[in-house]
């Protein structure tokens, strides 16, 4: 049986949604990897599967393009929230993820917000390989680390254009300090309410944007005393807003857009 899907993006951070409510989840790591191939599949940064849920509007599962699973994707969560709110003609929705229960809203501007939960700041939560102060890691450049359900390492730089993200990023991603690897951020502070961000995404290379990376970068900047509680984050693909009061959940706000819809042929599913 063919498998319908929807492709969306949030400022170029692209993802695919498979709605599996009222049916068995058909997605495996092998299928996610095949669908994520930008030459032989659909291509995406993340794949999100929508499942039935007893205590929320839906349960979400996420995959990277290499077929590995992850706990949360801020961009895909907002995309699913947008679709489900349109479906139910509401302006708020609750979605269950491995990160916990995430509440989403449609703002008056049309932007979609998601409460991403409180950041995890302990060394074992990131996780790191040994007990350390996550606010200042013992690596060249003195980065900070946190987790938003996936690990983040943030560098604050004077000139973002001078940073060779493609060379430095994979070196930090695979540093032994990060047993589950890490996303790597390079942040240039324009002012206390505006940063420019480039990303090396673990397993994925250089994306145009990433919701959870935007959150992690702002959290680490606020922890350093460099940023205000509401920050405009300018990525290669566009701008989102991140809000954090220093203690509670992090809120990610920005636009989402549907690119196209289609179906995966049944013979491809049988082959996998």
User: Quick check: 103 pLDDT over 60?
Assistant: yes
pLDDT of residue 269: 64
Average pLDDT, the chain: 95
DSSP E strand stretches across the chain: 3-10, 13-19, 46-51, 58-64, 69-70, 92-97, 100-106, 112-115, 144-147, 151-156, 183-191, 194-200, 230-235, 238-243, 251-254, 257-264
> If you ran DSSP here, which 8-state letter would residue 205 be given?
B
* Tens digits of residue pLDDT in 134-191: 999 999 999 999 999 999 999 999 999 999 999 999 999 999 999 999 999 999 999 9
* Tens digits of residue pLDDT in 63-100: 999 999 989 999 999 999 999 999 999 999 999 999 89
CATH superfamily of the 3-100+258-271 domain: Diaminopimelate Epimerase; Chain A, domain 1 (3.10.310.10)
Residue with tokens 């077929």: 67
User: Quick check: 50 pLDDT over 80?
Assistant: yes
Q: What is the dihedral of CA 198, 201, 204, 210, to 10 degrees?
A: -70
pLDDT of residue 177: 98
pLDDT of residue 86: 97
Short-list 233, 243, 240, CA closest to 190: 233
Structure tokens at 141: 């450049």
Q: Where are the domains of the chain?
A: 3-100+258-271, 144-248
Distance, in Å, from the CA atom of 7 to the CA atom of 9, rounded to the nearest integer, reads: 7
pTM, two decimals, is 0.93
144-248: CATH class: alpha beta
* Tens digits of residue pLDDT in 6-40: 999 999 999 999 999 999 898 999 999 999 999 98
Q: Which CA distances in Å does 199 have to 133, 211, 229, 259?
A: 23, 11, 21, 23
* Tens digits of residue pLDDT in 132-149: 999 999 999 999 999 999
pLDDT of residue 1: 73
Angle CA 93–98–99, to nearest 5: 70
Q: What is the dihedral of CA 121, 124, 127, 131, to 10 degrees?
A: 90
């Amino acid at each position: 049986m063919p498998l319908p899907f929807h492709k969306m993006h949030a400022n170029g951070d692209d993802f695919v949604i498979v709605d599996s409510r009222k049916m068995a989840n058909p997605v495996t790591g092998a299928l996610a990897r095949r669908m994520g191939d930008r030459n032989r599949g659909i291509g995406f940064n993340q794949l999100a599967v929508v499942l039935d849920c007893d205590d929320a509007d839906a349960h979400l599962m996420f995959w990277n393009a290499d077929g590995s699973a992850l706990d949360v994707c801020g961009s895909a969560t907002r995309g699913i929230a947008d679709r489900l709110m349109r479906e139910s003609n509401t302006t708020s929705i609750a979605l269950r993820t491995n990160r916990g229960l995430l509440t989403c809203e449609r703002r008056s501007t049309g932007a979609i917000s998601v409460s991403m939960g409180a950041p995890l700041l302990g060394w074992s939560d990131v996780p790191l390989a040994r007990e350390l102060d996550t606010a200042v890691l013992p690596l060249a450049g003195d980065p900070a680390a946190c987790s938003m359900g996936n690990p983040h390492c943030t560098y604050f730089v004077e000139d973002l254009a001078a940073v060779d993200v493609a060379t430095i990023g994979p070196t930090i991603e695979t540093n032994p300090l990060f047993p589950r690897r890490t996303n790597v951020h390079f942040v240039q502070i324009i002012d206390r309410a505006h940063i420019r961000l480039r990303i090396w995404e673990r397993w994925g290379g250089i994306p145009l944007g990433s919701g959870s990376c935007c959150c992690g970068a702002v959290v680490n900047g606020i922890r350093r005393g460099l940023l205000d509680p509401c920050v405009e984050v300018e990525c290669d693909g566009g701008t989102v807003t991140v809000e954090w009061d220093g203690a509670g959940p992090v809120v990610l706000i920005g636009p989402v857009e549907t690119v196209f819809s289609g179906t995966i042929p049944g013979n491809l599913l049988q082959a996998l």
